[in-house]
């Protein structure tokens, strides 16, 4: 049974180059755990066929931390929850430049400035634009920004400033979103995603798995990601944060994480699929298996408020896997 | 050490601290810290007691530094 499903998926994606249907993805999602390595192997083959062997590295920094008015139940930066994260204003430009240099030194090609906000106001936009100009002037990094919900004018200004990619995650399926966030809607996120593309930036639109969504809702999310048509999909796994409503949720099991990495690749064969937050605590010893389950990009080093493993470990892992590091942007 | 750097409580032995979390509370007074996390660095600072740890010049995966136990998940050794 599982072999027939995998063969059909392989023919579709490798020979016919046609997308899998929602029913096919649901069937693959329901495969027995013993079939996950085979699923991962197919996803790796699809990734190589559609994207090539290159892996893109990215560093991120929280340019403005905490104090966010939104209530994303997974996030330690919401002002609505009593978390250990103390709000801090926009980083000094010297700190931004230092973080960018650190990113460049590890061989990354992407640097993302992330702000904990609903959306930027005039003052924040000015700070973001100055930071973008600084990073572009002092490094060879491609600059991405994640600053919440945008207006058309803001999206246009960011694109004009040379922001080549904008991150705005769907996080979860539309049918589950109301259990995660109540201060804005899934449709508002979707609208910003469309705006980003309309203004000529690459869309980076990620997911956060492990918040209590069902497998059917994950398959629903795969379809919704297709609808928004991102260039990059960061794959985050819930790392339960103290003080948040999801602070006591269980981690996704490592092999289950591999299953969904593979399914993301099979659903979105041409995207930059980036292993992102929560990977260390979720995958544990299976980091390399993640790389051979359809992943072709990594966030290296620390995250926004938590730490990652050392970039050197990741670079060594990629060398061992014979995966070259490089840029995958389509607009630069 | 008077306070856990993971939760700030005086009666916590540090076992609350999660893997790969930087220090969040001053080990001296229990205040929340200003924490800067960059791709390669972590710097934690108490507004009353200054930097926590050894300035964490390259603290990847070793967030805490000497002053707070020197091991992730083992934040309060004293």
CA distance A290 to B76: 33
Whole-prediction pTM value?
0.93
- Does residue B1 have a pLDDT over 90? no
CA distance A171 to A149: 14
Low-confidence ranges of chain A (pLDDT < 70): 330-332
Say if the Cβ atoms of B35 and A85 lie within 8 Å: yes
Q: What SS3 string covers A170-228?
A: CECCHHHHCCCCCCCCHHHHHHHHHHHHHCCCEEECCEEECCCCCHHHHHHHHHHHHHH
Residue with the two structure tokens 């979720």: A282
Q: Is A12 on the interface with B (CB under 8 A)?
A: no
Q: Using CB atoms within 10 Å of the CB of residue A71, give its burial: 0 to 12 exposed, 13 to 18 middle, 19+ buried.
A: middle
ipTM confidence: 0.92
Residue A223 CA, distance from chain mean position? 16
Q: Which of A106, A116, A107 is nearest to A61 (CA)?
A: A116
What is the nearest CA distance from A218 to chain B, expressed in angstroms?
Answer: 27
Q: Which pLDDT tens digit goes with each residue over A42-94? A: 999 999 999 999 999 999 999 999 999 999 999 999 999 999 999 999 999 99
With CA atoms as reference, the chain B residue closest to A89 would be B34
Q: Which pLDDT tens digit goes with each residue over A15-43? A: 999 999 999 999 999 999 999 999 999 99
Helix (H) or strand (E) segment spanning residue B56: none
What is the nearest CA distance from A297 to chain B, expressed in angstroms?
Answer: 16
Say if the Cβ atoms of B38 and A102 lie within 8 Å: yes
């Amino acid at each position: 049974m599982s072999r027939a499903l995998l063969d059909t998926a392989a023919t579709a994606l490798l020979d016919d180059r046609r997308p899998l249907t929602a029913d096919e993805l649901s069937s693959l999602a329901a495969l027995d755990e013993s079939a996950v390595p085979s699923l991962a192997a197919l996803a790796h083959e699809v990734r190589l066929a559609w994207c090539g062997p290159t892996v893109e590295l990215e560093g991120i920094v929280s340019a403005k931390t905490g104090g966010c008015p939104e209530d994303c139940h997974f996030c330690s930066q919401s002002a609505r929850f009593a978390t250990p994260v103390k709000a801090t204003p926009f980083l000094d430009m010297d700190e931004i430049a230092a973080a960018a240099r650190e990113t460049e030194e590890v061989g990354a090609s992407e640097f993302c400035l992330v702000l904990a906000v609903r959306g930027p106001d005039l003052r924040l936009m000015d700070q973001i634009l100055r930071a973008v100009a600084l990073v572009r002037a002092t490094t060879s990094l491609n600059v991405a920004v994640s600053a919440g919900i945008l207006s058309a004018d803001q999206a246009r200004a960011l694109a004009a400033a040379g922001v080549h990619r904008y991150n705005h995650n769907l996080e979860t399926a539309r049918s589950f979103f109301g259990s995660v966030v109540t201060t804005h809607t899934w449709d508002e996120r979707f609208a910003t995603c469309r705006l980003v593309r309309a203004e000529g930036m690459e869309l980076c639109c990620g997911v956060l798995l492990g918040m209590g969504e069902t497998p059917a809702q994950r398959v629903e999310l795969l379809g919704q990601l297709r609808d928004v048509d991102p260039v990059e999909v960061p794959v985050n796994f819930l790392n339960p944060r103290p003080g948040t409503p999801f602070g006591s949720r269980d981690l996704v099991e490592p092999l289950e994480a591999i299953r969904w990495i593979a399914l993301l690749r099979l659903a979105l064969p041409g995207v930059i699929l980036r292993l992102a937050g929560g990977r260390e605590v979720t995958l544990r010893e299976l980091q390399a298996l993640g790389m051979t389950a359809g992943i072709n990009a990594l966030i290296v080093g620390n995250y926004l408020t938590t730490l990652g493993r050392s970039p050197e470990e990741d670079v060594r892992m990629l060398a061992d896997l014979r995966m070259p590091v490089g840029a995958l942007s389509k607009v630069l | 050490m008077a306070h856990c750097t993971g939760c700030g409580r005086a009666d916590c032995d540090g076992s609350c601290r999660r893997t790969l979390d930087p220090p969040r509370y001053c080990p001296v007074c229990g205040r929340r810290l200003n924490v800067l996390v960059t791709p390669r660095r972590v710097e934690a600072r108490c507004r009353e007691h200054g930097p926590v740890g050894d300035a964490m010049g390259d603290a990847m995966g070793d967030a805490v530094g000497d002053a707070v136990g020197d091991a992730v998940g083992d934040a309060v050794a004293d």
